[in-house]
Chain A
Amino acid sequence: DAGITQSPRHKVTETGTPVTLRCHQTENHRYMYWYRQDPGHGLRLIHYSYGVKDTDKGEVSDGYSVSRSKTEDFLLTLESATSSQTSVYFCAISGLSGTTTIAFFGQGTRLTVV
């Protein structure tokens, strides 16, 4: 398995509080991603990073911010959590498999906003 660790794995938080999810990789890959998974939507990209301090928005970035101060860590922050952000969050990295770049996913973080 690719070396990706997400923390925490489960979290319950109250509406209006800030929340930070962490993704840590040991593969030294340049690209890292945060997705959310919701029934009927598959996975949707929130933000991604193409290097230290280099990040960009995905399709569902409103209410989220990210930071990448080190190659191995990519943080996702919900600035003021809302019930609509209850979801399962997946971190991914892109790396070479043979001659193709593929994505490797973490185990996910289940976030519940009450």
Chain B
Amino acid sequence: AQSVTQLDSHVSVSEGTPVLLRCNYSSSYSPSLFWYVQHPNKGLQLLLKYTSAATLVKGINGFEAEFKKSETSFHLTKPSAHMSDAAEYFCVVSDPSGTYKYIFGTGTRLKVLA
């Protein structure tokens, strides 16, 4: 069965400092992995996706994630946090059965301090 574990429910960083949001996955297959962001009272927006083409994936708004098979990790990073990055972030794995169902992590709420 597929699953993802987001290791931190809350992360606080100062504006201008690096962001690290951690995600470990479990999958019997070569997984498709995603990061989505949700700003307060908004829907979900795709940040980036991993589909085995390259282990370092660049997304929108300066975010990137690295797929590490040996560590079963897919951590999300950004070199310099901006106030507008404050949101909830979800790590997601796609069910490989062909139904494209998504399995969500429990989310990490990022707070950016001025």
Where the two chains meet, the residues of A that have a C-beta atom closer than 8 Å to any C-beta of B are 31, 33, 35, 40-45, 48, 50, 56, 58, 90, 92, 94, 97, 99-108
Give the residues in chain B near A33, CB-CB below 8 Å: 101-102
Given contacts A90-B44, A100-B51, 15 further A-B pairs with CB under 8 A are A33-B102, A42-B90, A42-B106, A42-B107, A43-B90, A43-B102, A43-B104, A58-B101, A99-B51, A100-B32, A101-B94, A105-B36, A105-B44, A107-B42, A108-B43
Interchain residue pairs with CB less than 8 A apart (9): A33-B102, A43-B44, A43-B90, A45-B102, A48-B99, A97-B46, A99-B51, A105-B44, A106-B43
Which residues of chain B in 32-51 are interfacial with respect to chain A, using CB atoms and an 8 Å cutoff?
32, 34, 36, 42-44, 46, 49, 51
| Cβ–Cβ contact B104 & A90, under 8 A | no
Binding site for A on B (CB under 8 A): 9, 32, 34, 36, 42-44, 46, 49, 51, 90, 94, 99-102, 104-107
- Using A90-B43, A108-B43 as known contacts, say yes or no to A103 and B102 having CB atoms under 8 A apart: yes
Per DSSP, are chain B's interface residues mostly helix, strand or loop, or mixed? loop
Those 6 A-B pairs whose CB atoms lie nearest each other, nearest first: A42-B104, A94-B100, A105-B44, A43-B104, A107-B43, A42-B106
A27–B44 Cα distance when bound, in Å, is 18
Contact of B46 among A41, A99, A102 (CB under 8 A): A102
